[in-house]
A and B are shown apart, each in its own frame.
Chain A
Amino acid sequence: MKSYYDIAGDGGSDILQQVAVQQESVARSLSGVRNLLAVGSGKGGVGKSTLVMQLAYALRELGNAVSILDADLNGPSQARLGALQNRMLIPGESGAPVPTTRNGIGVVSMGSLVPEPRSVEFESVASGSSHTWRATKEFTFLRELMACMDWGKLDYLLVDLPPGAERIVQYAELLGPAALFVLVTVPSDLATGVVARSLDALKKTPNRILGYVENMDGYYCSDCGQVKPLFPAQPQVKLDLPCLGSVPFDPELAALCDRGGSPCEVPALVSWQPVRRIAEEVCQRVAERVSAPEEKA
């Protein structure tokens, strides 16, 4: 009796071919993107999204064309960070033009389409069982979103990943082996332990991990002008990965983010210089990758 692999095609349902077409359309849409850089953690609340937007501004300041894809469909932040709430997609000549912040950062985020506090709902014929299909639906949705946007020519497309240590591998598969990763942690064992799990999972993929950023490394006190410890001690858990830099928690930055402002408007911002150095480090490591593409981090 024939086995599955003895039979060519799928009898007419064409499902595998349709999925392949979806994947091809994503590749076509991203053909003008030189570097796909995913920023993840595994842990929530470490400041990934804020860092992504700051990094985008810093990379742009270095002369790069940058856009952001907010892959967190359920807890999108980038629309607010870029002051791009309530923006619908408008059909262009070849795909949908990417909404752009007033400082020139392209942002694609569900936060532009779905106003707060609404949640994203997918209708289903299998009511009450969303845990069985929701993840598949979300990845399909994200793929469709990536495929339809007119990304144009970009030096960097930053992808702001949602939390979830195990899901980081699923995003690596979605974005493809050329996608680079940066992990974000805070100086605590609790967070770094989870990030270490993400790192362990990512190391099994072909994707290259540029390094990690230690966010909230102390907080800036505007009264005394000093950076003071935010966490009681340095973490014992170590990440086997280059540190791209540390950024202190800066209340002024938090306020700026809430109003969708750009750090370029406040050059004296304490957290801005560290982010700029991280951007330089990223560019340098990306350039090294181009000269030594076969090596993994």
Chain B
Amino acid sequence: MGEPRLTIARRELATLRSEKTIVLALLIQLFIAAFSSFLVVGLVSLYDPGSVEGYETTVGVTGDASDDLLRVVDEQASMEGVAYDSQATARTAFRNGEVDAVLLADRRAGRVFVTATAPDGNVRTTIIVVQLRETLSTFERVERDQRSSSLAATPLDLPPRSGSTPYYGFSYTVLLPLLCFLPVFISGSITVDSVTEEFERGTLELLRVAPVSTVDIVDGKVWAAAVLAPAQAGLWLLLLDFNGTPVRHPLALLLVVAALSLLVVTLGATIALLAPDRRAAQFLYSVSVLVAFGGTTLLPLNPVNTVARLAVDSVGPTYPLLVVGYVALGVGAYFLLRRAVPRIGLVD
């Protein structure tokens, strides 16, 4: 019958396959990824006017500082300024839809007071406000330069504008870690379910009269669950690569995911052995994983950051040491559990 531990692992994977839950798991991950991408592409990119070049905004400018302001507005690529003599005519033009926004600029007490009116109630509002902010910031710099003699420090020149998409940082620092760690959390949860279910159904007793030790049973369950996460992460890496998000150091990345998967699965198995009721075990598991991951993000070398930096190749030549550290952590936890299992005692 071969290695009993492999048999148990195979049985675990077979139930996952027969229940088609692994398909559901992949769908959930895809949904979460699509959902967070939707947020970024659809909404957060609105904060970057560079990514919405298609929109040309027409602005009505009025007030006694309108000449200076109009000069700045006309310099903007995505904006066109129209001068109006009075506030009333500008407002009428706004209501009739001739201009998208109105800027009323007045000089008072050595400053320029600008009242910006943007249309209420649609998505373009966001784009218009962002474009106004950009324009007015430029205007502020121009005005500040004229007053530089009264300033103690001169502002630094800004680095040139680059045609970068806002998705770049998101893809590597949020999306990729998300896709790498979701399978890990799911694997740990599977282990908790698998172990507690053996208790609930009383099948653990049956397994124990078979010529396998408790350690073998735990081994089989841990192996099956721990293998799943890197396999799924590998799939996501391929998909990202296919979609034009190349991932550097894929092997090191998968090793880190595998090590963390072993660590989290071990944690799940330990909790399930200590608290064999699923309600308590799942609660403890989710809180501990939240704590562990939330806690480590405060550290300079947290897993999320490690994955992101590996993927964009922002690691120094010493990165193999870091990967070895993760592997040592995962394997160490696993061997600790193996030594502890006979002592936990599965009497009841």
Genuine A/B complex:
no
Q: Which residues of B contact A (CB under 8 A)?
A: none
